[in-house]
Amino acid sequence: MKSTGIDALAFSGPRGYVEMSELAEARGVDPAKYLKGLGQQRMAIATPCEDTVTMAVEAGAQALERFGIDPSEIGTLIVGTETGVDHSKPVAVYVHELLGLDTRCRTFETKHACYGAMAGLTSSMDWIASGRARGRKALVIASDIARYGLNTPGEPTQGAGAVAMVVAEQPRLVRFDPTRIGDYTRQVMDFWRPLYSKYAFADGHYSIQCYLDALSGARGDALAEGDTGFDALAASLYHVPFVRMAWKAHHRHFELAFGDTLEPDRHESWQRFEHSYRQRVEPWLSLNAEIGNIYTGSLFLALIDLLRQSDESLEGREISLFSYGSGCGATYCIAEVAAGANAWKSQLDPAEYLAQRRRLSIDEYESLMQQTEQADLAESLDPVSHGLDGGLYYVGTVDHQRRYRRG
C-alpha cells in the first residue's frame, strides 16, 4: 500500500475583515452571542476584486513556492468550491493557467457544499494509489466565499479564503490511513444556494443536527466496532462553520467513542470530555475564529493551525479529520502527522497575511456586500478603489472573466 497524504499546505484570504463585536453592536445583538455563543472573533470579507479564482491561485502559488515544488510536477489539479464563477467553466482551469501548470494535467472542479475539497483530497490519494499518477503530485485547492446576506441568522457565520494542499507519495506533513476512511451521504435540505442567488439559504438549527448525524455515520463507516483509538488521538479536527460547532462535534465524537450519553451533571465523564476538548480541539481553532467560515477549506484551516503550532512530539501521532458538506456528504478519517513535519511549520503559517489585513467599518462592509451583488454585470472593477489592493491577483473586467497578476 502506497503512503500518501498532504505534502504542502498554504492559506490565502481577503485583505479585509469585520470585528464581530462591532457587527453585534450594529445588529443590536449581545456581542457575547457572536464571541462566545458562536465562538467567532473576526470575519474575512472579500471585495468584488477578490474571488474564488484569485484566492485559489494565491494559495496554490504559495504551496508550490514555499515547499519547493515545481509546477511541472502537478498532474492533477482539483478546486473544491461551492462558489464557482461560471455555470460551465471550472474555477480550476483559470487557476491552471495562472499557476503555469503543464497541459498534461487533469483539471476539474468538485462541488458538494463544504465537502468538495475532501472529495478532491481522497480522489487524489486514490489517483496516486492506483499508479496513474506515475510519480506526479496533485494540487487540491479549497476556495470559497460564504455569504448569507445582511441581517440574516447566518450573517455572523460568513467568511472567505482558500487552502491549497499538494497531495503526494511519502508526504512531508500528513499521511492518511486508507483503511480508516469512512463516508456518509444523505439528501437533506439543511443548506442550499439556488442558481439565481449569491446568498445561501439555511435551515440553521436543522443543519447542525444533519452535521452531527453525518459525523456518526461517517465515523461508523471508518472504524471497526469497538475501536479504542480515541484516547490516542493527538487532535480531532472538524469542519468549522463557526467555532462552537467544533465543540458540539467533539461532544458527539466523545459520546460515540465511549458509547455513552454525556450530561453535565455526570461530573466525571463531563470533566473528561471538557479536558479532551481543551487538549485536542480548542487549541487549533484560532484561525477559524479569525477568518470565519471558508466552507470547503474550514477543516484544513484547522489543520494548518495544528501544524503551525506543532513540535516534534506531534510527529508520528494520529489525528482524526471530519469533513461535512451540507446537502449532505461527509468523510471521517484517521491520519498521522509525518516525521519531520515540524520543520515546515513556518512555511505554512499565515501569520504574515493576518498581520496585513485591514479592519472594515460596518458601513464599508455593507457597501462591499452591495457592490458584490452588482459585480457580475459591471464592465470593469477597480481594485484600488476598495483600499484593499494588497492581493497578488485580482478580478479585472468581469465581462471577460479575466483575472490579472499585479506588477
Interface with ligand HMG includes 202 (CB under 6 A)? yes
Range 363-402, binding ligand HMG (CB under 6 A)? none
- Min dist CB 205 to ligand HMG, Å, is 5
- Among candidate residues 369, 328, 365, the one with its CA nearest the CA of residue 148: 369
Q: Does 33 bind ligand HMG (CB under 6 A)?
A: yes
Angle, CA 305 vertex, CA 235 and CA 349 arms, to 5° = 145
Q: Which of 14, 154, 292, 297 binds ligand HMG (CB under 6 A)?
A: 154
Does 114 participate in catalysis according to the annotation? yes
Cβ proximity of 48 and 391 under 8 Å: no
In the range 232-291, which residues lie near ligand HMG by CB under 6 A?
239, 241-242, 244-245
Give me the residue whose beta carbon is nearest to ligand HMG.
37
Q: Name which of 38 and 139 has its Cβ closer to ligand HMG.
A: 38
- Residue 256 or 338: the one with the smaller Cβ distance to ligand HMG is 256
Coil/strand/helix, residue 82: coil
Binding of residue 153 to ligand HMG (CB under 6 A): yes
**Residue 235 identity (one-letter amino acid):** A
E strand or H helix at 118: helix 116-129
Nearer to ligand HMG, 14 or 154 (CB): 154
Choose the catalytic residue: 82, 109, 155, 364: 82
With a CB cutoff of 8 Å and minimum separation 6, the contacts of 142 are 79, 80, 81, 116, 117, 120, 162, 163, 164, 165, 294, 295, 296, 297, 300
DSSP state, residue 154: T
Cβ 239 to ligand HMG shortest distance, Å: 6
User: Which segments within 61-173 are labelled E, that is strand?
Assistant: 74-80, 106-110, 137-146, 159-169
Q: Kindly state the cell numbers that stand for 88.
A: 460551465
Q: Is 82 a catalytic residue?
A: yes
Near ligand HMG by CB under 6 A, which window of 72-80, 153-161, 166-174, 303-311?
A: 153-161
Report the residue number, 39 or 383, with the smaller CB distance to ligand HMG: 39
CB atoms within 10 A of CB 48: 22
Asked if residue 114 binds ligand HMG (CB under 6 A), the reply is: yes
Q: Which has the closest alpha carbon to 305: 253, 335, 345, 356? A: 345
Considering only 25-33, 90-98, 122-130, 283-291, which stretch makes contact with ligand HMG by CB under 6 A?
Answer: 25-33
- Which residue number, 11 or 211, has a Cβ lying nearer to ligand HMG? 211
Least distance between ligand HMG and beta carbon 327 (Å): 7
What are the CB-based long-range contacts (under 8 Å, 24+) for 86-89? Answer: 86/401, 87/195, 89/401
Q: Which residue among 96, 112, 239, 250 is the active-site one?
A: 239
Q: Which of 19, 50, 58, 114 is catalytic?
A: 114
Stretch that binds ligand HMG, among 30-38, 67-75, 94-102, 389-397 (CB under 6 A): 30-38
Contact 78, 118 (CB under 8 A): no
Q: How far apart are CA 343 and CA 234, in angstroms?
A: 18
Residues at the interface with ligand HMG (CB under 6 A): 30, 32-33, 36-38, 82, 113-114, 153-154, 157, 190-191, 202, 204-205, 207-208, 211, 239, 241-242, 244-245, 293, 295, 324-326
> Which residues belong to the active site?
82, 114, 239
